[in-house]
Homo-oligomer: A and B are copies of this chain.
Amino acid sequence: MKCKEYTLMKKKQIILGIDPGTRVTGYGVISGEQAPIDFGCIRPPPSLSLGERYKIIFDAIEILIEEHQPTAIAIESQFVLKNPQSAIKLGMAKGMALLAAAKKGIPVYEFAPKKAKLAVVGNGRATKQQVQKMIQSLLRLPLPPEPEDASDALALAICCLHHTRNPCLHR
């Protein structure tokens, strides 16, 4: 019984971080503090209608989930946007991530940008460049991850890894 329990606990955590945006949605997949499994961004052509662009974002996230089978999805919880139109657009992009996760029953963890920066750089007010540099170092990348949307997504994934980590998971 004990042995079976141990096997269950040891299940590898695969975390998909998503930094949603209508223009650029960054993503990053990690399974520990080693080289990331995947990272990059989704850039729907701006010439398409908003609906078509969200469909591209949604389909891409579904493909990422299918490919990497994440055990958790990390996403930003809080945005400081003064323009309500930008906030609505951001909400629409974020909705695609939440829907794709809900369709597969994958738990979603939300983190404030400050918390992600704190987890990665140790400073909630770190610049985007500091985050990129630190992620390069933490995940042993040859170069800082580009674009910064992908770097932010990796930061969210690292933050989520710290959050969900417990000794049993990392023996």
| Residue ranges of A at the interface with B (Cβ–Cβ < 8 Å) | 49-52, 54-55, 58, 78-82, 84-85, 87-96, 98-99, 101-103, 108
Contact = CB atoms under 8 A, between A and B. Distances in A.
Copies in the complex: 2
A114 to B, nearest CB: 15
Nearest to A101: B51
Given A78-B85, A81-B88, 5 more contacts: A50-B98, A81-B84, A88-B90, A91-B91, A95-B96
A84 B95 contact: no
Per DSSP, are chain A's interface residues mostly helix, strand or loop, or mixed?
A: helix
A51 B108 CA distance: 8
A61 to B, nearest CB: 11
Contact of A84 (B54, B82, B93, B102): B82
